[in-house]
Amino acid sequence: MRLSSIAAGLTLLFVAATALDKPLDIEIQHSVECTRKTKKGDKVEMHYRGTLASDGSQFDASYDRGQPLSFHLGKGQVIRGWDEGLLDMCVGEKRKLTIQPEWAYGSRAMGPIPAESTLVFETELVGIGGVKRDEL
């Protein structure tokens, strides 16, 4: 009986630790209903604001430039946290992505982003190439 209790406790600790160490956390900040969501291969236009989780300092923002970033989703043109975290979005939806280093830049420093940084992105899907926004 004691061994099973210890095993159950260890399993709970492992599950809790794994949940904390997941490489990507997605928080939907503004939900939108649509018939066509983003999928791999789509050319998307995203507005975003990127900050460091460690101190909240902003390192980049498309909003400051007044122009969304355009790229093909799921093709490795952006960090893995974006390729995975921006799937199944509707135009107009806003998400906050918290991305651990292994799905961001890992052990490489990138401009103002130190190596091994957890990144936070506030994102907004502006458009999907060739897809009209649903009228609700």
User: Which residues are known catalytic residues?
Assistant: 48, 59-60, 79, 105, 121
Give the Cα separation of 3 and 53 in Å (integer): 40
What secondary structure does DSSP assign to 83-129, as a single string? Answer: HHHTTTPPTT-EEEEEE-GGGTTTT--BTTB-TT--EEEEEEEEEET
Give the Cα separation of 98 and 24 in Å (integer): 6
